[in-house]
Amino acid sequence: MDESELPFESVSGLRLAAVAAGIRYQGRDDLAVFELRTGSQCAAAFTRNAFCAAPVALAKRHLASATPRYLLVNAGNANAGTGRAGLDDARSSCEALAGLAGCRPEEVLPFSTGVIGEPLPVARMTAALPGALERLEPGAWPAAARAIMTTDRVPKLVSRRFELDGRLATLTGIAKGAGMICPDLATMLAFLATDATVAPGPLQACLKGALEGSFNAITIDGDTSTNDASVLVATGALGNPPIQDAAGGALSALQAAVESVCQELATAIVRDGEGATKLVRVAVEEARTREEARRVAYTVAHSPLVKTALFASDPNWGRILAAVGRAGIPDVDIERVRIHLDRVLIVESGGRSAGYTEEAGAAVMVKPEIPIRIALGRGSARAEVLTCDLSYDYVRINAEYRT
C-alpha cells in the first residue's frame, strides 16, 4: 500500500519520525519517536496482565514523576519476561533519547511490542536515535503507523476534525495489533494526539471513557498481552480555552472524537486479526447486568468451535447456543434465548427457529462482516464484543512466528 493511500491530519504541536533500527526486521522501519510540544498533557492506560513488560512498568513510573516530552516505541521485541535486565534496558533507551534531546529520562515514555523474552537490542536502538531526531516532522504519522507493526498486515491510522469553541481541532491516532489481543484496559499499542488544550484529569477521563467501547471490547485470541498501552496526547497548540472539567460542550466534542477514533482503530485491529477472514460483531442483549452480557459475548467470541464455523461460513448456530450455555450465567433459560445472524432469527424456544432456513443463514455467513445478536430474555443490559474467525492462517502465523 502506498502511504499516500492513508489519509490523515497532522497534529499541531507534535512531531514524529520512524527509522529502521534493525531490531528484528530487516528493510523496514521498526522504531518510532514522538516529540510532544512543551505544555502537552498525556493520558495513558496499560495492560492488566500481572506480568506487564519492562517498558510498561517504566512508563508508569515516568508518568508518575514527570510530564512526557517524548514517546519511544519499538517493534520486533516486547522487552517482556526479561527480568531486571529488561528494566535496565528500557531505562537505557530512555536515557539515550533524553541525552540527545536535552530532556530528563523521566520525560521519555518507552513502549515495546514483539517477541517476548529476548533481550532488547539497546545498542541498535540507540544508534538509530540521532537519525530519528533529525527527521522529526508533523507528517510522519503513516510512517509511524508502519514502524510499530508486527504481524499486522496493514497500518492503522485514523483522523478526525471536530469543533472546539469555534476552532477546528484535530485528533489523529495509530494502533498496532493482530495477535495476543484481548485488551484489558488498553490495546496492544495505540497512540492518539490532539492539538486541543486539555487538563490532565479530563484527558485521562476521556481516554478511559473511550476504551470501554473500543479496545476493551475486542478479542482475537483471548490472550491479553503483557505490553498493551494506549496513550492520548493533548499538545494544546490549538490555543482553545483549556478544557478543565467535565462541564460544557468542549469535553463532549473531544470525547466523541476520541471514542470515534478508538472505535475505528479497534475495528481495524480485529479486521487485521491474525489469519482473520471475517469481522464478527457479537452483541448480547436483554442480560441482567452488563457484566453478564460481556461474559456471554466473550464466551461466544472465544469459542474455537464458533470461530472455525465462522471461517467455514457455516451457520452452525448449535455451537453458538452451546457457548451461551457454558458461559456460567445462573438460571439462564434456554426457552427465552433468541439468536439472530444479522436479521435472520436462527434460535428461539430452545431450538432452531421455525422460519429459519439454512439458505438464509448461509447468506449471512458468506459476508465479510457478521453480526451475531444474542438476546437472553432476562433484563435490559447489553454489551458488544468484536472478534474474528479462526483460520488455517491463524495457526500458520502463530506456529511460524519467532522461527
3-class secondary-structure state, position 269: helix
Q: Tell me if 131 contacts its own copies by CB under 8 A.
A: no
Least distance from C-beta 170 to its own copies, angstroms? 35
Lookup: cell for 113: 511490542
Angle at 267 between CA 8 and CA 229, to 5 degrees: 80
Q: Which of 5, 7, 27, 50 binds its own copies (CB under 8 A)?
A: 50
403 binds its own copies (CB under 8 A): yes
- Site size toward its own copies, by CB under 8 A: 67
- Residues within window 61-90 making contact with its own copies, judged by CB under 8 A: 78, 80-86
Q: Which of residues 248-307 bind its own copies (CB under 8 A)?
A: 302-305
Q: How many CB atoms lie within 10 A of CB 48?
A: 12
Instruction: Assess 91 for contact with its own copies (CB under 8 A).
Output: no
* Residue from 18, 116, 145, 237 in contact with its own copies (CB under 8 A): 116
> Edge to edge, what strands does the sheet with 156-164 contain?
41-46, 229-234, 189-194, 167-176, 156-164
Nearer to its own copies, 12 or 303 (CB): 303
Among 252, 334, 357, 380, binds its own copies (CB under 8 A): 334
Closer of 162 and 298 to its own copies (Cβ): 298
Largest CA distance in the chain: 71
Exactly one of 27, 64, 359, 399 binds its own copies (CB under 8 A); that residue is: 399
Q: Which of 222, 242, 371, 379 binds its own copies (CB under 8 A)?
A: 222
Give ∠ CA 46-47-49 in degrees, rounded to 5: 150
> What does the chain come to in residues?
403
Of 142, 195, 199, 201, whose CA–CA distance to 170 is shortest?
A: 195
For its own copies, the binding residue among 225, 235, 240, 387 (CB under 8 A) is 225
- Among the listed ranges 209-217, 233-241, 348-356, 380-388, the one in contact with its own copies (CB under 8 A) is 348-356
Residue from 90, 81, 103, 95 nearest 36 by CA: 103
226 lines the binding site for its own copies (CB under 8 A):
yes
**187 tagged catalytic:** yes
Instruction: Decide: 221 and 260 in contact? Cβ < 8 Å.
Output: no
**Amino acid type, 48:** R
Catalytic residue among 170, 187, 219, 226: 187
What is the pairing mode between strands 108-115 and 381-388?
Answer: unpaired
Selected range binding its own copies among 12-20, 130-138, 139-147, 317-325, rule: CB under 8 A: 317-325
Q: Does 201 bind its own copies (CB under 8 A)?
A: no
Select 1 or 312, whichever has its Cβ closest to its own copies. Answer: 312
Decide: is 391 part of the binding site for its own copies (CB under 8 A). Answer: yes
In terms of phi and psi (left: phi > 0; alpha: psi -120 to 50; beta: otherwise), the region of 19 is beta
Buried-state track 114-126, b at ≥16 Cβ within 10 A, e below 16: bbbebebbbebbb
The secondary structure of residue 121, as a DSSP letter, is -
The residue with cell 505544555 is 39
Smallest gap from residue 108 Cβ to its own copies (A): 23
Cβ 224 to its own copies shortest distance, Å? 4
Name the residue with cell 458488544.
384
Contacts with its own copies, residue ranges (CB under 8 A): 48-52, 78, 80-86, 115-117, 179-180, 182, 184, 221-226, 302-305, 308-309, 311-312, 314, 316-319, 321-327, 329, 331-332, 334, 337, 347, 349-352, 390-392, 394-396, 398-400, 402-403
